[in-house]
Amino acid sequence: MRVKPVVNSILKLGFRNETQDLTHLKIQKLLYFLNGWYLAIHGEPVIDEPFEAWPYGPVVPSLYSDLKRYGASPIDEYLLEWDENSLQKKPFVISKENKDFWEVLNPVWEKYSVFSAKQLSTMSHETNSPWDRTPQMLKISNSLTRNYFLALSKNREPVVIA
């Protein structure tokens, strides 16, 4: 799936819940945890772009470019993409009919949205995490991420019961 509709789906939950702290950093980390659990459950990444190991944790570089204008301020609007049908930019979200997506996003949101961006960043830095095992500024492999989240599901209460 494309990054912007996935991020817009996260934003949709945040806007609906009147979440006040959806900063660029927090969105990156929520997306990382969503991707990890999606990989563990479905065996494929939730987005079609890789994460990289940056100093504050896993980052999708294109998303960084799209959101850096916010700095540490909360994101207050959806990300726009060109719509060939209307010939204008529009926000897209993942369809409610995509049950596989929403059955992972909803519990990930419930579990991780309560944490601050800094807490999520710290969680992504755990020893032996994909970020910890990847040299800085290089791509984090999906297989490394999947194996890590599979191990989490065996060692702790899983986020999603498949």
C-beta atoms surrounding 84 within 10 Å: 6
**pLDDT confidence of residue 162:** 37
The average confidence (pLDDT) of the chain is 94
- Rounded Cα distance between 134 and 140, Å, is 6
Tens digit of pLDDT for each residue in 118-140?
Answer: 999 999 999 999 999 999 999 99
- Of the candidates 31, 50, 160, 90, the one whose C-alpha atom is nearest the C-alpha of residue 22 is 31
Give me the numbers of helices (H) and strands (E) for the chain, helices first please: 6, 5
- Of the candidates 112, 110, 106, the one whose C-alpha atom is nearest the C-alpha of residue 9 is 106
Share of residues in the chain with pLDDT > 70 (%)? 96
**pLDDT confidence of residue 156:** 61
